[in-house]
Structure 1
Amino acid sequence: MKNKVFFGPAGSPVNYKGAAYKAPKYIQRIGLDSYEYQSPYGVRIGEKSARILKQEAEKFDILISMHGPYYINLCAKESEKIDKSIGHLIATARAGEWMGAYRLVFHPGFYTNQKPEKAMEISKQTINRLFEELEAEGIEDFTFAPETTGKRTQQGNIQEIVELCASFDHFEPTIDFAHIHARGRGYLTKKDDYNCIFSTIENKLDIDRLHCHFTTIEYGHGGEVKHHTLDESDEYGPQIEDLLANLIDNGWNANIICETPLRDIDALKMKELYESMI
């Protein structure tokens, strides 16, 4: 039986040399459980490759998620940017359906001098349009996973992400703990600091498996600056031990995608630490 918490890399493993859509065999062999396929600069994977990824993931028992393009902005002021964002999300959903991705991760957007309340209103209107176009395209098997964001100019604090997910079917959160830490200028410094995050989620959402991102992170006045490795955790937070202790104490099923520069190597360190704690 697998552990309640899964671990995997954001993108292909560091020392893996093959095609990204054939990575599950390698990921399983090194002892990890999941894989977040990356499409940050546009969805470029074709149907054939995506279906191979699904087959490989099923064969080697690897849980697949997909990160969509960075260009998405649900709350843009310009209608052209809204149209393009919807296009990127449809392309992500289509590829995600082919590859069997259980979550489609994306960054919601930027306030761009709008009040957060106005940005939220526009985002919800955009999502309603998105659903209409997905239905017209015949795309049915998808779960979007808006991510907590690391810069204070971005839509995506924990309350906003939970509100979006509580407002729509086919929406589940991606909780990026490093982004929460950076956005809060060092918010997560001890185990108890995670409690309000988990209580906010529990009060509003019914989640079977919490999709997470984790890295140690450098931040400045405006939030996120740079990702760092676990070995640099003495200098940069947050601490993975605090997150794991909370997940264990509260019995959470979770999938932690490692976003450090050593994504699979540090994911293994996280898994080994987790298994030493349970």
Structure 2
Amino acid sequence: MQNNLLFGTAGTPHGTKKKGSVRGVEYVSEIGLDCMELEFVRGVRMKEDKAQSVNVTARNSSVALSVHAPYYINLNSAEQKKIDDSVERIYQSASIGSLCGAESIVFHPAYYHKDTSDRVYSRVHNLLNDLSSRLEEDDIPVVLRPETTGKGTQFGNLDEILSLSSEMEKVQPCIDFSHLHARTNGGMNSFDEFKSVLSKIEDILGKEGLNNMHAHVSGIEYNSKGERNHVNLEESDFNYMQLLQAFNEFEVGGLVICESPNLEEDALLLKNSYFSLD
């Protein structure tokens, strides 16, 4: 059993007595979790002084942080202003997230609209390459993590995300296993299928791709078009135990962020279930 797999919540846990990321980080540690994803999904509103406070609290609490950038991102918009705004939202997420001590910036990259996968891929690749250079020039030491998406209309299947990650040093995947399950209309839900995903990651990104994984897990509802909404693990058909067994077999390390509606309950369920494995 590897001890370098960290479990935590997508945002401040519900049981946190006072609002805010600082108290959320403290509460994550108090209940025995290891990490938290700062949710900038409605916009990057955190100020620099607050970010510094989050950083100090996270270090003192030994809680690893990541960031989820705003939902309003589409690097394949037909409108140039929306593309420019999307890039700026990722940049601002990275800037404030880095001050918080976060190393990974997660985002949903784009929609296909009526374009081919290759055309969208080329556009997303070029934009992320330019953004990575800008972040490096500004000494913002983060990794950009485009996320595997849950609907067929969204750019971000497993192959697209892994290919982007293999071609740019500062781009690595966020593997949302529940999205993979929903996107395939109930597939990607067995031990062998989870192993196939992890094998592909290792083949394309090397062992480091498994040692420093960023994963999202939750219960999920879906239909023929893919993801509908997140639900609690026990209310879903998502086979989280076999995913954890695959993590164990491949000695996966990194962050596992739970996005179930009950947040810390399912995050603790995942952690406790993982460490109960032989």
Please classify the TM superposition score into its range, dividing by the shorter chain length: over 0.9
Equivalent position of 1:218 in the other structure: 221
- Checking the alignment, whether the CA contact within 8 Å between 2:190 and 2:243 is kept in structure 1 is no
- 1:181 equivalent in structure 2: 181
How many angstroms apart in 2 are the aligned matches of 1:120 and 1:275? 38
How far did residue 25 of structure 1 move?
1.5
1:153-191 alpha-carbon deviations (Å, 9 max, x no partner): 000000000011111121111100000000000012321
Please state whether the residue corresponding to 2:264 is helix, strand or coil. Answer: helix
Which residue number corresponds to residue 245 of structure 2? 245
Q: Report the equivalent of 1:209.
A: 212
| Residues in 2 aligned to 1:116 and 1:186: alpha-carbon distance in whole angstroms | 22
Q: For residue 159 of structure 2, what is the aligned residue in structure 1? A: 159
Identity of aligned residues (%): 34
One-letter amino acid of the counterpart of residue 186, structure 2: G
Give yes or no for the alignment of 1:8 onto 2:15.
no
Structure 1 counterpart SS, 2:257: strand
Q: Distance in 2 between matches of 1:139 and 1:113?
A: 37
1:250 aligned partner, one-letter code:
F
Query: How many residues are matched?
Result: 274
Tell me what 1:277 maps to.
Answer: 277
Query: d(CA) in 1 for partners of 2:162 and 2:103?
Result: 18
- RMSD over aligned CA atoms reads 1.6
* Match runs of 1:97-246 below 5 Å: 97-135=98-136, 138-205=138-205, 206-207=208-209, 208-232=211-235, 236-246=236-246
SS in structure 2 of the partner of residue 277 of structure 1 = coil
Unaligned runs of 5+ in 1: none
Q: Is the 8 A contact 1:75 1:120 kept in 2?
A: no
Counterpart of 1:222 in structure 2: which amino acid? K
1:132 offset after TM fit, Å? 4.4
Distance 1:128 1:227 in 2: 31
Cα distance in 2 for partners of 1:266, 1:129 equals: 37
Q: 2:12–2:25: 8 Å Cα contact kept in structure 1? A: no
Q: 1:153, 1:27 → 2: CA distance?
A: 35
Cα distance between partner residues in 1 of 2:143 and 2:132: 12
After TM superposition, the structure 1 = structure 2 runs for residues 77-92 of structure 1, keeping only pairs within 5 Å, are 77-92=78-93
Kept in 1, the 8 Å contact 2:47–2:96? The answer is yes
Q: For 2:125 and 2:265, how far apart are their aligned partners in 1?
A: 38
| Residue of structure 1 equivalent to 2:95 | 94
Instruction: Return 5+ residue gaps in structure 2 as ranges.
Output: none
Residue 46 of structure 2 is matched in structure 1 by 45
Partner amino acid, structure 2, of 1:231: E
- Pairwise mapping of residues 59-74 of structure 1 onto structure 2 (< 5 A)? 59-74=60-75
Distance (whole Å) between structure 1 residues aligned to residue 107 and residue 197 of structure 2: 19
Hey, what's the Cα distance between the residues in 1 that align with 2:83 and 2:130?
10
